[in-house]
Structure formats: structure tokens, C-alpha cells
Amino acid sequence: MAAMITIDFQNCTILLLLCIFSLLCYSLFFKKPKNSRGYDNLPPSPPSLPIIGHLHLLLSTLTHKSFQKISSKYGPLLHLRVFNVRLILVSSASVADEIFRLHDVNVSSRNVSTIDESLVFGSSGFITAPYGDYWKFMKKLVATKLLRPQAIEQSRGVRAEELERLYANLLNKAKKNESIDIGKEAMKLTNNTICRMSMGRSCSENNGEAERLRELVTKSFALTKKIFFANLLHSVLGISVFKTEIMGVSREFDELLEGILVKHEEKPEENQGKDMMDLLLEAYRDEKAEYNITRNHIKSFLLEIFLAGTDTSTQTTQWTMAEIVSNPSILAKLREEIDSVVGKTRMIQESDLPNLPYLQVVVKEGLRMHPPSPFLLRTFRESCEIKGFYVPENTVLFVNAYALMRDPNSWKDPDEFKPERFLASSGRGEENEVREQVMKYLPFGAGRRGCPGTSLGYIFLGTMIGMMVQCFDWKIEGGKVHMEEAVAGMNLAMAHPPKCTPVSRFDPFTINLHKS
């Protein structure tokens, strides 16, 4: 892999400040662990710099690539150090399999330090919650109520309306011959849909609340990278360095969500069916519940659903559409499938997805090559042994899902967009082999803390990409898509999102109008 490690200037300043600070903390960093048994059997470690250790690798603009590069040189299980913080870097399916098979509970916390009173990265968060009573209660609520298949089915109409809204917007642009940024358009759909699924009709594009939420979600994303570093270096930096910024965003969210919460409490009959907020309020009022959640738990959870569900689906749609329009034979094959299954008299809908196997593998390949979350981040709560090496307690676990899904030992031509690879795999073989096969594909994470929104994510991607391919041709500004990567917040984004002009192939709604 010939990728260069580039360091941006803002990060250099942080690096310099940290170096100075680290000198002051020298004695702390080199304090010997109380129980140093096993420390002579840590996983291999690539050469590091004095004091800062491997910080320079973390600060590179594309951390997943610099980590991929050192892993391909030094091995799939590495021990890194950033000041006195220990990290384990995993880049192969075989190591990931051992961790999630034998040590899943041990790595089921993210050990994020939080600001108590904040809704963003606060102590009432679900994503940041340690593996314990609150997380278990919410996970059960998510699996049995909030995101269970029947709940997803009930909100099908909301998603169909939002898909039509996106279609109408694209058609309007096509008529005016105007270009769009696919990511921005997809973001509106995911945001509006999650807004309506979680908070009902009271939060729609029409009353400006969706737009306000979108802005707040974007502000929170901008904070994630800073908070990630502050967390990692909590003994040096601490999350409170960014407290003012975090609390500013938190207060805005609080005002917006509290308003919607009160509306739900006052006029429950206005909501059509139960949305997530109703179900969360039920749990909040239930005195006999296994865990008594608070209003802050409700608000934090709703906010996290936005953070976890919108940008991930949006980035993947943008990347996958970029791959499709750059590969005319894939576009032709995909369109042929959609035209033959769905036809040209109506728009693709969710119920078509199981009958569109090629669309499904195109989406899977988009997620393999461009996982929106390139890392899975956890913490080893207790010391353990991985592949015969000692891992001390409180070590941070970095699973480089990006490297794993481009590992040449697991994937043929890993850097090429080849959806057919998923059609070929039989899934049969030895038990160990099958498990490792599962672990080589991790866009939604793994184990207990894996993504609970996987089915919804696949629906968003399948319907958005399916509709854009079915109803439009695409003209690319400059004639070529540039596939360079960038990191937005903690997510993998396109460095140069293409400007594309939709060209209408047919209008399924006009066709139906003429027929009736």
C-alpha cells in the first residue's frame, strides 16, 4: 500500500502542545504498573517515538490507513502506546474472531469519560454507557420494541414518503439541469426519516425542526474527533477541555428535544401509532421496570440514534453511488435487475429489496470498501490473553474494520469494487472457517455492542441507491469521480464529493397518473 501518511497543521499544533505537557507528566507516564506480571509478553509493537509513543500515527489525517500500513508491515495484532495509554490494534479476521468469540463481554464497554450534565457525550448516553444494568435494559428495549422488525415494518409508510420526497427533489433538479451533492440529499432523507420514526409527525421538514436537528447533528459530528482524543488521553487532556463547546451543543439539543417530549406528553393522540419517544416514555413511567430511566436518558438516546444512523447511511450512499457511476457495467447490470423486477411503472419500494440480489451485493460491497466507521473502539475491562499474548486491563481496543475488509489474505483484489464476490461465497465450510468468514466483514461491528440499526441501515441504502439508479441517469461534473478519502468527525467521508446532475429516465408518478 503506497499511501503516504500526511499530518495536518492543526494536528501538529496539538502534537507540540502535548509534547510540552508530556514532559511535565514524565514521571506519571513511566510509573511501573502495580502488577507487571505478563508485561514481557505483550503483542509486538512497531518502533515508537520517545514519550509520545505512537501518537503520530493516530494524528495522521487518515488514521485507518496509517494503521493499515503498520499492520501490513508488523502484523495483525499489535501493541501501541500513546503516552501512558495502551492500545491493541487488530487488523485480521482471525484475531477479531478470537476476541469476539472468547472475550466479548470483556470488550463490551467503550470506557468513554463523559460530562455528567451533557446530553452529547454525557453520562446518560447509550453508546457511551459501560456494559452494565442501564446498557442491558436499553439494549433489550431496542431489540424488543424500538427497532424490532415489527416496529420497522410499522414505519414503512414514513420511509416511503421520505423516499418520494427525495425523488421529487431530484426530479426538480433534473428539470432545472442543476447539479446536487448526493450526500447532502441523502442526509435530508435519513434525518427526516429518523426524526419521524423516533418523534412522530411533530418533527418534520415543514416546521423547521428537522433542519435544526440536522445542524445540531453536524455540530456534534465536528466535536467527535476532538472528544475522541480527549478521551484517549484523559490522563493528559481530559474531556473537560471541550466542556464549553460540548455544553453549548447539548443545551441546544435539550431545548429542542424537551419541547418535543412535552408535546408528546400533552397530546399523545396527535401521534399516529407509537413512535420511539412514546415507547421510551412508557418505560420512563413504568415504576416496575427493571431499570428506571430518566428524561435525560430518553433525550440522549434519541440524539444518539441521529448521530449513529444518519451520517453512516449518508456516507455509504454517497460512496456507493460514486462507485456505481464510475463502473458503467455495474450500473447497467443493476438497472437491468431493477427494471426487470420492479418495472418502469412504479418506484422501487422496501418490499422489492429481497428480490434484488444484485442491488444487495452492490450495497454490501460499498460498505466493505468504504465503511463509514473504519474503527470499532472498545476497552478491555480485564486483563486477558489474545493469540498467546498478554493484554493488560484497561487497554483500548482498536479493531481496524477498514483494514480487515481490505485484507488481501481474506479478499481477492481487495481494492477493487466487485459486488460479484458476495454472490460467489457459499458460506459452507468448517465451523472455524465460517466464523472467520463472518469476522472478515465488519461494517456494522461485532458482538453485543454491534450495531442495532443494521436492518434499518440496509433499508436506507437499498431504497435510496435503488431509486437513484432506477429513475435517473447521472452526469458527473468534470466527467470523473475522485475517490480520495477524508475523515469527517470519526467517519470516513469523500474528500471530493462529486457534483452530479440527475437526468430523468422516467417519472413513475406521471406514468401512474396517465393510467388512472
Please enumerate, by residue number, every residue annotated as part of a binding site for heme: 451
Of 43, 183, 366, 457, the one binding ligand HEM (CB under 6 A) is 457
Closest CB 114 distance from ligand HEM, rounded Å: 14
Nearer to ligand HEM, 104 or 339 (CB): 104
Q: What are the CA-CA distances from residue 301 to residues 130, 278, 460 (Å)?
A: 14, 13, 20
Question: Beta partners for 391?
Answer: 384
* Closest alpha carbon to 440 in 93, 91, 68, 100: 93
Phi-psi region at 8: left, alpha or beta (left = phi > 0; alpha = psi -120 to 50): beta
Q: Are 337 and 363 in contact (CB under 8 A)?
A: no
Radius of gyration of the chain (CA): 24
- Burial (0-12, 13-18, 19+ Cβ within 10 Å), 489: middle
The region of 83-91, 202-210, 352-360, 454-462 touching ligand HEM under the rule CB under 6 A is 454-462
C-alpha–C-alpha distance, residues 379 and 103, integer Å: 11
Site for ligand HEM contains 451 (CB under 6 A): yes
For every residue of 6-70, which 3-state class applies, written as one string?
Answer: CCCHHHHHHHHHHHHHHHHCHHHHCCCCCCCCCHHHCCCCCCCECCCECHHHHHCCCHHHHHHHH
Which residue stretch of 10-18, 52-60, 252-260, 311-319 sits at the interface with ligand HEM (rule: CB under 6 A)? 311-319
Using the rule CB under 6 A, give the single segment among 261-269, 412-420, 441-449, 468-476 that binds ligand HEM.
Answer: 441-449
Residue placing its CB nearer to ligand HEM in the complex, 62 or 376: 376
User: Please, which residue, 444 or 472, has the CB nearer to ligand HEM?
Assistant: 444
Candidate segments 40-48, 305-313, 388-396, 469-477, binder of ligand HEM by CB under 6 A: 305-313
Residues 6+ apart with CB under 8 A from 100: 107, 439, 446, 447
60-79 binders of ligand HEM (CB under 6 A): none
Rounded to whole angstroms, how far apart are CA atoms 391 and 11? Answer: 29
Work out how close the CB of 507 gets to ligand HEM at its nearest, in angstroms, rounded to a whole number.
28
Q: Note whether 453 binds ligand HEM by CB under 6 A.
A: yes
Q: By CB under 6 A, is residue 444 in contact with ligand HEM?
A: yes
Cell 454525557, located at residue: 122
- Binding of residue 445 to ligand HEM (CB under 6 A): yes
Please name the residue that has the C-alpha cell 429513475.
471
* Contact between 308 and ligand HEM per CB under 6 A: yes
- N residues, the chain: 516
Task: Confirm or reject binding of residue 312 to ligand HEM (CB under 6 A).
Answer: yes
CA atoms within 13 A on the CB side of 443: 21
Joined together, the cell numbers standing for residue 405 give 475488509
* Residue 452 in the binding site for ligand HEM (CB under 6 A): yes
Tell me: does residue 316 bind ligand HEM (CB under 6 A). yes
CA distance 276 to 452: 14
CB distance 108 to 448 below 8 Å: yes
Q: Which amino acid is residue 370, in one-letter code?
A: H
Residue closer to ligand HEM by CB (options 52, 142) is: 142
- Per CB under 6 A, the list member of 53, 76, 309, 419 interacting with ligand HEM is 309
State the helix-helix crossing angle for 328-341 and 454-471, rounded to 10 degrees.
Answer: 100
Using CA atoms, how far apart are residues 137 and 291, in angstroms rounded to an integer? 6
Q: How far is the CB of 223 from ligand HEM (least distance, A)?
A: 17
Nearer to ligand HEM, 233 or 405 (CB): 405
Shortest Cβ 92–ligand HEM spacing (Å):
16
For ligand HEM, the closer CB: 126 or 229: 126
Closest approach of ligand HEM to the CB of residue 315, in Å: 8
Is-contact 142 451, C-beta < 8 A? Answer: no
> Which segments of 233-294 does DSSP mark as H helices, in order?
243-266, 276-285
Task: Give the footprint of ligand HEM on residues 178-197 (CB under 6 A).
Answer: 194
- Nearer to ligand HEM by C-beta: 132 or 450? 450
Give the one residue of 280, 446, 468, 493 binding ligand HEM; rule: CB under 6 A.
446
Range 471-510, binding ligand HEM (CB under 6 A): none
Total chain residues near ligand HEM (CB under 6 A) = 25
Neighbours of 481 (CB within 10 A): 21
Burial of 284 (0-12, 13-18, 19+ CB in 10 A): middle
Summarize the annotated binding site as residue ranges: 451
Q: Report, in Å, the least distance between residue 363 CB and ligand HEM.
A: 9
Q: In terms of CB distance, is 76 or 366 closer to ligand HEM? A: 366
Q: Does 127 bind ligand HEM (CB under 6 A)?
A: yes
CB of residue 202 to ligand HEM, shortest distance in Å? 18
CB 506, min distance to ligand HEM, A? 28
Q: Is 466 in the site for ligand HEM (CB under 6 A)?
A: no
By CB under 6 A, residue 376 contacts ligand HEM: yes
Binding site for ligand HEM (CB under 6 A): 126-127, 194, 304-305, 308-309, 312-313, 316, 372-373, 376, 443-446, 449-453, 456-457, 461
